[in-house]
Structure 1
Amino acid sequence: MKTVLKTAFALTGALALAACGSSDDASEEAVADTVEIPADEAMEGVTAEPVVDENVAPAPAPVVEEDEASDPEPTAADVASAETAGEAAAAAAADVAAIAAGAAAATEDAANDGADAMEDAVDAGEDAVNEATE
């Protein structure tokens, strides 16, 4: 039932899209004759000229790039602040690396413990089979 509904829905969508075009030939591309002429015909009776809307905010002034020569040199406070931020970032990266290393070690330990437990279970199973067959 779901397949029938999906197919019906897809077919309905395809037919709706096909009904939108006015071309008899599906391979015909949109060209000036099929796009611009109907638009020109729709605008034939319009004689009004566009007007400026006074309620709209004026366009922002264009951004002017400053020359590198006009950039001021960083102050000692700027340099110190940047160095402090860099040191804090390096410390945070070291902390993350230490946490990741600890997590990797814990994961490896857990995997080894699981492998050891599996090995013990296999050994116990083999012992039980050996005892039963003796």
Structure 2
Amino acid sequence: MKKVLFLAVAAMSLSLASCDSKTEDKMEAQGNEVKAEGEAKADSLENKADAVRDSADKKGEAIGDAADAKDPK
């Protein structure tokens, strides 16, 4: 009888432990928002870095092409 009672109490405590509180859900939502904002900022910075890199590549290629054009063959 004690075993059955113990198992019933253990099962009830596990089921209650798995429930989220409204405060916890709210904090998780705020954390997810902050994470999403950070990801958006990182994506924006990566896009800007790619644009700068592409621009530098084009300028470098143009300078190299101009040098090649002046090179006597």
Structure-1-length-normalised TM-score: 0.42
TM-superposed deviation, 1:72 = 5.0
Structure 2 residue 49 is matched with structure 1 residue 103: yes
After superposition, the CA RMSD in angstroms is: 1.8
**Structure 2 match to 1:85:** 31
Q: What is the identity, as a one-letter code, of the residue corresponding to 1:95?
A: K
**Structure 2 match to 1:73:** 19
Q: What is the identity, as a one-letter code, of the residue corresponding to 2:29?
A: E
**Structure 2 match to 1:115:** 61
The unaligned stretches of length 5 or more in structure 1 are 1-65, 130-134
| Higher Rg of the two aligned structures | 1
Q: What do residues 21-80 of structure 1 show as CA deviations (whole Å, max 9, x unaligned)?
A: xxxxxxxxxxxxxxxxxxxxxxxxxxxxxxxxxxxxxxxxxxxxx754131522211111
Percent pairwise identity: 13
CA distance in 2, matches of 1:82, 1:70: 19
Structure-2-length-normalised TM-score: 0.73
Q: What is the identity, as a one-letter code, of the residue corresponding to 1:86?
A: N
The unaligned stretches of length 5 or more in structure 2 are 1-9
